[in-house]
Amino acid sequence: MTTPSGKIFLVGLGPGDPDYLAPAASQALAQSDVVIGFRAYIDQIQSLITGKEVVSMELGHELERAAAAVDSAYAGKTVAVVSSGDAGIYGMSGPVFRVLTDRGWNGESPAVETVPGVSAMQAAAAVLGSPLMQDFCAISLSNLLTPWEKIRSRLEAAAQGDFVVALYNPRSKRRQTQLLEAREILLKHRPADTPVGIVGDAFRSGQRVMVTTLKELEQAAASVDMVTIVVIGNSTTYLHGGKVITPRGYEEKADRP
């Protein structure tokens, strides 16, 4: 008797607008027997997964969702695990590979195929202008899985390296101080008028966009929540026509009138 060989698709749904769901993502959903994900993302793709086995869970159960997916795949099923944005950026790829590692996965069976999607950071950047046009960092301010001291040292490093910084999970009801600490760290290294873009629900209904400065971020912080992305410019970033613009090259800023 041969072992049934299942498959796991790690599917990034992108920003949530169906116009940004890649054909590869739709195809992976169509090929799957089981679809697993956070309830809100499942709701979003309901029309594409009619008749399939659906495992829908609340936030904060990532390892349980991953374990359910791995169980189904070892049982021979084809499983799609969905994430918003890109499954590989603060998404479900991590928990699934962690569970596979724990189970002694051989790298081949079940097969794992990742379908990348447009991440929240990229959707926010698209709305803001061209903030990510030079070297950049993505930093999550959530200290649930990473010690705050580690996050602080990354903010220091990002500030010293003059990186454009995209902040994920910047602020929640229970975590209100981290964004202000991040602002203080960056202010030690770059000017108070450094442009900052804040985008909530990019490409979704209810999209919110605010353009401010590092100095004014203190006042703007109240409008920042967990699903907001905060993009902080580097030393060359400027505002023009309401857009946050990082020029591609370093000499370009000097050329500007």
Cβ within 8 Å of residue 82, ≥6 positions away: 11, 12, 13, 29, 35, 36, 37, 38, 41, 42, 45, 92
Backbone angles phi, psi at 169, to 5 degrees: 45, 50
Nearer to a copy of itself, 49 or 155 (CB): 155
User: Nearest distance from residue 37's CB to a copy of itself, in Å?
Assistant: 16
Instruction: Determine contact, residues 46/119, Cβ cutoff 8 Å.
Output: no
Nearer to a copy of itself, 54 or 189 (CB): 189
User: Nearest distance from residue 4's CB to a copy of itself, in Å?
Assistant: 18
User: Nearest distance from residue 150's CB to a copy of itself, in Å?
Assistant: 7
User: Nearest distance from residue 146's CB to a copy of itself, in Å?
Assistant: 5
How would you list the strands of the sheet with 111-115, edge to edge? 53-57, 34-38, 78-83, 7-12, 111-115
Whose tokens are 């998404």? That residue is 91
User: Nearest distance from residue 180's CB to a copy of itself, in Å?
Assistant: 19
Nearer to a copy of itself, 59 or 222 (CB): 59
Q: How far apart are CA 23 and CA 40, in angstroms?
A: 21
Cβ within 8 Å of residue 204, ≥6 positions away: 15, 16, 17
Nearer to a copy of itself, 37 or 95 (CB): 95
Nearer to a copy of itself, 128 or 224 (CB): 128
> What is the C-alpha radius of gyration for the chain, rounded to an integer number of angstroms?
20
Q: How far apart are CA 146 and CA 58, in angstroms?
A: 21
User: Nearest distance from residue 220's CB to a copy of itself, in Å?
Assistant: 20
Nearer to a copy of itself, 108 or 222 (CB): 108
